[in-house]
Structure 1
């Protein structure tokens, strides 16, 4: 069976890896002119590292990223609100939480594809279902044919638009800044991750190994500013000027060109991800806010499940519908939970934020642990 994968991000490349492992003939088509190297970092929870290990990609053995051994929530000035038992969670689930530079993960996925072609500068612009499968139109005017087309081309997926129309994204009124930098600080131990919660603002500082960190910041802003941030690095520094020393220092240590800004967006959840020999994975199917850190992880799960159902046999279209049915409830829950947590995190009312922080400090550890472990529970398809 020949499969075309549109998109060479985490979801697309993992899909290609999973399909290749099952013996499928795969080709990846990516609109960008070259492999992506920017994009900050990723927190891969135990569900994602479990799936990657099942595909033969053990991040720890490969030396990619850093295993997360501590995770805490802090106030804007750095005072500890709560330590979360990340190590015992990973032990219970049987797989580590790994924080990694996005570019390093993509390079590992590409390397594992060996001779499977990944063609850059070859974006998919359209497709039509034929009696023999699917015919794909490329940006350069060329075409490809295959038995199956998988849209893994992100939140603005051309494959999704062809299936359901070019629907508007859902916006949430805050901007996200993301970057990686060479940085060390006594308050961030090896393998450490810290989230700082303020009023309408947050910051994350995460060790990714090799003397480098991944950091991100958010701030409630009008929608035009969220869509296109023009404040530069100076604006980011101004947003966190009174925050903890390590927050101010890591932003100062980051070259302005390395700071990316993206708006907080997702889409209404789709009841149907595909038709005939066409389906979607990752952000093309179910884009979600970053609050649960499950965007990449859910795409990795999609990839493994898709390969599993296609390999089970039968007509490709029937296998794709089984895959979609398998993934729908799980991903809908993650999208909904991410929205719910985002509303709590981005609160700007002083009384509401004070109450939120008190709850974090005093909620029973069992409840806090259960809330954090729930999104990471995932069983591989039998």
Structure 2
């Protein structure tokens, strides 16, 4: 049987990780990205210990080779800045053996693109995918026909490939908008490796040190889903939403250029019972988009890429390999999606009593329980058993 060829649709974090892992196994892979050139975004993300563990096993050492910041201190605070509870990042790293890092999205994409060393075709928008004799095919908008043994849809929450596998269905909406930005920022509270989550009523705010004198921030506000989906406000509206919050919250928004603020609605999708069909499968947000509360969206996509490559390398029949990959990922992905929803419902709570109970619970729960609940989603085994 000839060696498989893999076409990956989407040059995001999951697609690039899959390319890195496949190339490490000696498998030919090419990436097809709809954007006309490498995306440049103004946002950052948290990459949990499970993801940094996978990437290090693939030779991608973000702590050494990339501009990022390992978590040193994680704090829950009230809207006005009063400390609810702190978690030592060093203890979490010691428990898991790999750090939780905060990194600019562009920096992570650059590191993965360099490690993959695979052909990336930009401006390659996929119109349709299908099954052909001997493998899969993708028809591009420009008329190009792409053929490969395996086709991987890593094309995000609005995946064209997913619509082929599972049909057209709208995302699940949670009735809030999330604003995000990165900006040069310093504040006495934002010590090296600081991550602060500030909780209000129907709102929350995150302030994260990503190194190099840069901060990543995000803020949410409950509103009708249609308004969140089509947000048309500006920086003044964001400042108004956080009026009266902690000084560092107000200051970081004030120091952010209006054009640097990105807005996205709170959305996910139900985890599919079937991720693929024949030589076609899904990966990352195309398969299991999740809310941001667990910081596992990008991290779980990294896991997907690793497991996909392991399956294709170990199982000679490409279709069997894809079903094995999906079987190994489905339960964990579902757990992360559901866990993110549960935590989101606490964080976005609007009822004053519910908010008071939430804050009191986090303040009073034994540290061992709080740490265990934080660590549980970040445990991931690199091994493969038949």
TM superposition score normalised by structure 1:
0.98
Contact 2:67 2:212 in 1 (8 A): no
Q: Which residue of 2 aligns with 1:350?
A: 352
Could you tell me whether the CA contact under 8 Å between 2:66 and 2:107 is conserved in 1? no
Deviations 1:242-297 (A, max 9, x none): 10000000001111111100000001110000011110000000000000000000
Question: For the residues of structure 1 that align with 2:300 and 2:172, how far apart are their CA atoms?
Answer: 19
Task: Using the TM superposition, give the Cα deviation of residue 228 of structure 1 relative to its aligned residue in structure 2, in angstroms.
Answer: 1.3
Structure 1 Cα separation of the partners of residues 366 and 18 of structure 2: 39
CA distance in 2, matches of 1:184, 1:140: 47
Q: C-alpha separation between the residues in 1 aligned to 2:27 and 2:345?
A: 42
Give the match for residue 147 of structure 1.
149
Correspondence 1:298-317 to 2 at 5 A? 298-317=300-319
SS at match of 1:174: strand
Q: 2:6 aligns to what SS in structure 1?
A: strand
Task: Return the offset for 1:141.
Answer: 1.6
How far residue 313 of structure 1 moved from its aligned partner, in angstroms, is 2.8
Tell me what 1:218 maps to.
220
Q: 1:43 aligns with which of 43, 46, 55?
A: 46
User: Residue 118 of structure 1 aligns with which residue?
Assistant: 120
For 1:253, the equivalent position in structure 2 comes to: 255
| 1:173 aligned counterpart, secondary structure | strand
What do residues 2-59 of structure 1 show as CA deviations (whole Å, max 9, x unaligned)?
1000001101111111111111111100111111111511111110000000110010
2:16 corresponds to 1:9: no
Paired with 2:192 and 2:364, the residues of 1 have a C-alpha distance of: 27
Matches of 1:296 and 1:63, distance apart in 2: 17
Count, aligned residues? 381
Provide structure 1 residue ranges, at least 5 long, that are not aligned to the other structure: none
Q: What is the rounded CA distance, in whole Å, between the counterparts of 2:358 and 2:242 in structure 1?
A: 20
Partner of 1:363: 365
| Superposition map of 1:50-89 within 5 A | 50-89=53-92
Indicate yes or no: 2:291 matched with 1:289.
Answer: yes
Distance 1:247 1:288 in 2: 25
Q: C-alpha separation between the residues in 1 aligned to 2:127 and 2:76?
A: 43
What is the correspondence of 1:164-175 to structure 2 with a 5 Å cutoff?
164-175=166-177
Does the CA contact (< 8 Å) of 1:125 and 1:159 recur in 2?
Answer: no
Superposed CA RMSD = 0.8
| Structure 2 gap ranges (5+) | none
Q: Does 1:102 align with 2:102?
A: no
The Cα shift of 1:319 comes to 0.4
> SS at the partner of 1:339?
helix
Q: Following the alignment from structure 2 to structure 1, what is the Cα–Cα distance between the partners of residues 227 and 68?
A: 32
Distance 1:264 1:197 in 2: 17
Contact kept in structure 2, 1:267 and 1:288, CA below 8 Å = yes
Report deviation, 1:202: 0.2
Moved segments of 4+, more than 2 Å: none
Distance 1:221 1:358 in 2: 25
Specify the alignment match of 1:201 in structure 2.
Answer: 203
Matched, 1:27 2:30: yes
Give distance in 2, aligned partners of 1:271 and 1:87.
Answer: 38
TM-score scaled by length of structure 2: 0.97
Q: Of residues 301, 305, 325 in structure 1, which corresponds to 2:327? A: 325
1:92 partnered with 2:95: yes
CA distance in 2, matches of 1:328, 1:39: 31
Pick the aligned partner of 1:182 from 173, 177, 184: 184
Deviations along 1:313-357, whole A, 9 cap, x unmatched? 321000000000011111100000000111110000011111111
Secondary structure (helix, strand or coil) at the match of 1:380 reads coil
**Structure 1 counterpart SS, 2:278:** coil
* SS of residue paired to 2:381: coil
Q: Tell me how far 1:193 sits from its aligned partner.
A: 0.6
> Does the CA contact (< 8 Å) of 1:305 and 1:381 recur in 2?
no
Other structure's SS at 2:75 match: strand
